[in-house]
Each structure stands twice: as C-alpha cells, then as structure tokens.
Amino acid sequence: MGTVTVGQENSTSIELYYEDLGSGPPVVLLHGWPLDSRSWEPQIHALFASGHRVIAYDRRGFGRSSRPTTGYDFDTLAGDLDKLMTELDLRDATLIGFSLGTGELVRYIGTYGTERLRGCVIIESLAPSFVKSDENPNGVDRPTIDTIRQAILDDRPAWLTGLLGDFLNLDQLLGTRVSEEMVRNTWNAGADASPWATHACVLTWLEDFHEDLKRIDIPTLILHGTADRILSIDGQGRRLHAALPDARYVEIEGGPHVMCVTHAHEINRELVAFIAQPAAVTA
C-alpha cells in the first residue's frame, strides 16, 4: 500500500490510497461510484495470473483515500490520476475504468494524451454523455440529479440499499450470480464512502465527453451489459462504440451494471485476452 498527495484542503493534505502489486506490464484500475478499489477483487486474481502489475487506487472521498469537500469534477479527478501515473512513472500501461471511472479515464486521455498508455478498457461507460437527449432518452436530466442527491441527503444507507438492487439486478440474480454476502460487502463499501463525496459526484453525470473521445488513439476494449439498469446499453455502450468504431466492442448478455461481480468470468476472459495483445484486437 502507498499514498500519493494530490492536493490540500485547509491544513490537511489530500492523499490517494493505492496498492501496487505484482510484476509485469502495468494495469491501473479505476473504480465506480460509490464504491472503492476493493470492488475489483473478482478481477485482480485473473490479472495477476496473466502476469500483470496491478495498481488499484481509491478515488478521493472513497475507500482509504482522503475525504475532502473539493475536487469532485472530472478535470480534478483526471488530474489525480495523472499525479498517480507520474508519481509511479507508469509506462506502457493499460487503464481499466468502470462506470464513473470511465469518466476519469476518458477525461485523462482528453487532457493528458496517451503517451503513458498501451491500451484502455471502458466498462459500463458514461461516455459519450449520460445526459438525456433525443439520442439518449434513457439518460438523466437536472431534476433527476436533484432527486437522487436529495435521497442521499435524506437517508443515505436506505438509498444505497435501493441502488444496489438496480446495480446488481438482485430481483433476478440474487442467489445465482451474486450472494447475499457479496451484496453486504458491496453495501459496506458504499456506506463507508464520504457522504459529501457520494453526494457531490452525482453532478458529474452531466459531463460531456465527445471532445475527449477524439484523443483516444490506442487500442480500446468496450464492455457493456445488456441488462444494465443504470447506464443503458443503447444510450451508452452502443453510442460509445459508434463514436469509437475501431474499438473492440463486447456486449455481456444479461450483465447488470456491476457485471464485474455477477459476470466476473466473462469479464476476466475479455480483459486477459485484450491486455495480452491489444493491438491485435479489432472491432
């Protein structure tokens, strides 16, 4: 474990917690909201076994990182990632982002380019945008954002329970694809997050990534679940593939939003194959 300082709030440094394990070509894991890097547990063993150095870090406000009241926008979060990449001097790395982490990934490339990167993987993407539009009728608008933020303020633990029901499609998958123990473990991670950060990050859903996508010039894998109730496959996964037609695009049949847990075998198979030879994988 280690920490990297990414800023300051009043008298306190803002530090990111990270784990840097194994050896081989580096893979950097960018977790979703409102969870932390522990959510990558189903992938880490597969990545180690395939011969990779795995760097998993907690976004500011989540997990074991500092819990400031500032910096919950994609420019700052991408800057945090850049500080980690620079501090560890990572080269020829593969970035793997899930959900909110895809926003950090795409904004990082849009701002800092791909000099340090070998490839990237986008799982359940926010890009090209999550805002409701004619192209994306299943997206969100400001009233929806405000309702979610108020629910977080009113009773964050109860709201989190409802969220996980849709994250994991528990009405269909509990007891088959996901255990009660895994649900409890995931709930604990979300409940452990900073209440301020959990509330603040919802505003990032209104971000637009069309310009950032133009700078993706490395091999890319897009994974999206056909049963995602949060980021719809038509509005997000298929639109992203249309914007990045040279990417390898895989739809995981029946995959909910947190399919890295429920469909870990399918996800890991795609990750290991892509990271081994990203340049050889095409759409």
Do residues 220 and 251 lie in contact, with contact meaning Cβ atoms separated by under 8 Å?
no
| Predicted pLDDT at 118 | 97
Task: Give pTM, 2 decimals.
Answer: 0.96
Find the catalytic residue in 99, 125, 129, 194.
99
Q: How far apart are CA 244 and CA 105, in angstroms?
A: 15
Find the catalytic residue in 31, 52, 257, 263.
257
What are the C-alpha distances in Å from 93 to residues 28, 31, 185, 187? 7, 16, 29, 31
pLDDT digits (tens, 9 = 90+) for 163-188: 999 999 999 999 999 999 999 999 99
Q: How far is CA 195 from the centre of its chain?
A: 19
- Catalytic residue list contains 23: no
- Catalytic residue list contains 257: yes
- Catalytic residue list contains 13: no
| Predicted pLDDT at 1 | 79
The 3-state DSSP class for residue 95 equals strand
Domain 2-280, CATH number (from 3.40.50.1820, 3.40.720.10, 3.20.20.70, 3.40.50.720):
3.40.50.1820
The 3-state DSSP class for residue 225 equals strand
